[in-house]
Amino acid sequence: MSATPDRKARLTPQDIRARKGAVPIVCLTAYTTPVARQVDQACDLVLVGDSVGMVLHGLPSTLGVTMEMMVMHGQAVARGLDHACMVVDMPFGSYEESPAQAFRNAARLMAETGCHAVKLEGGRHMAQTVAFLVERGIPVMGHVGLTPQAVNALGGYKVQGRGDDGERILADAVALAAAGAFSVVLEKIPAELGARITQEIAIPTIGIGAGADCDGQVLVIDDVLGLFTDFRPKFVKRYAELGRDSEAAVAAYAADVRARRFPDPDHSFSAQGSRA
């Protein structure tokens, strides 16, 4: 889609990097074209998160997400964006083995989806890989704190970085910034630690359950829209109750069909009518 005067210009990873300490960066996930169209103009960043595995595919964790899934959802989201900077998650097992493996898969994500950057999880142990990608023209967003791909090693989806453990997460964020990441997601850490990391590193921090002082915020779109009636993590604020509304809509449709109230004449064709 070509840019028109009333639509905002495309944002790049460099634009996001330059927003450090300025107006907060707005980020949501998207996995499909229609949702990408809905969030595009309001967001600075759109993340095709590997949360897609749990949100859309019903997987128990993000560990089963594949490159093929990320490519397919990345392509769908790209068709719906013309403003927001688009980042695609590297799935578990696609980058940890070596910088060369990470480059091969990151290059595939960029070539096949048209995304502007990739995101990968991990701190100091991933810094060499991040530098390898950045030096070869791939903008990278880091992700520290609760890293869902490490759920088995972390023993669940618990808050990270309480007490002395905060130093570990700070050191991870510092290492990613030094390696050339253009921004870093801070997930599920104390607000005070989110503020401290934001102060100490020169790249934007994008928080999810990391307090109000980060340079930006990200949430999963389905959580913002209240699509899950039974999932209410503390760090999510719902701005709609679409799950409840759609359950009610489906129940009303089922009742109408069973009572033969639907279709009524307004939703039926007559032999003489002109409407297609």
Pick the stretch among 42-50, 132-140, 174-182, 252-260 that binds ligand KIV (CB under 6 A): 42-50
Tokens 């109230």 appear where? 261
Does residue 29 bind ligand KIV (CB under 6 A)? yes
Tell the smallest beta-carbon distance from residue 218 to ligand KIV (Å): 5
Q: Which residues are catalytic?
A: 187
Which CB atom, from 110 or from 118, has the smaller least distance to ligand KIV? 118
**40, 44, 82, 89: residue in contact with ligand KIV (rule CB under 6 A):** 89
Tell the burial category of 136 from Cβ atoms under 10 Å away from its Cβ (0-12, 13-18, 19+): exposed
Strands (E) across the chain are located at: 25-29, 45-48, 85-89, 117-119, 140-145, 183-187, 205-208, 216-219
SS3 70: helix
Q: Give me 235's structure tokens.
A: 């760090």
Q: Is 208 in the site for ligand KIV (CB under 6 A)?
A: yes
130 binds ligand KIV, rule: CB under 6 A: no
- By CB under 6 A, residue 51 contacts ligand KIV: yes
- Of 50, 82, 172, 215, which lies in the binding site for ligand KIV, with binding defined by CB under 6 A? 50
Q: Is 15 helix (H, G, I), strand (E, B) or coil?
A: helix
* Closest residue to ligand KIV using C-beta atoms: 49
Q: Phi and psi dihedrals of 33, rounded to 5? A: -65, -50
- Min dist CB 167 to ligand KIV, Å, is 22
150 secondary structure, DSSP code: G
Q: For ligand KIV, which stretch binds (CB under 6 A), given 46-54, 68-76, 95-103, 234-242? A: 46-54
Q: How far is the CB of 103 from ligand KIV (least distance, A)?
A: 21
Torsion of CA 146, 235, 84, 121, to 10 degrees: 0
Quickly count: other Cβ atoms within 10 Å of residue 182's Cβ.
25
Query: How far apart are CB 190 and ligand KIV at their closest, in Å?
Result: 17
How many residues touch ligand KIV under the rule CB under 6 A: the total is 11
Task: Name the helix (H) or strand (E) containing 75.
Answer: helix 67-78
Q: Give the footprint of ligand KIV on residues 135-194 (CB under 6 A).
A: 185, 187
List contacts with ligand KIV (CB under 6 A). Answer: 29, 47, 49-51, 89, 185, 187, 208, 218, 220
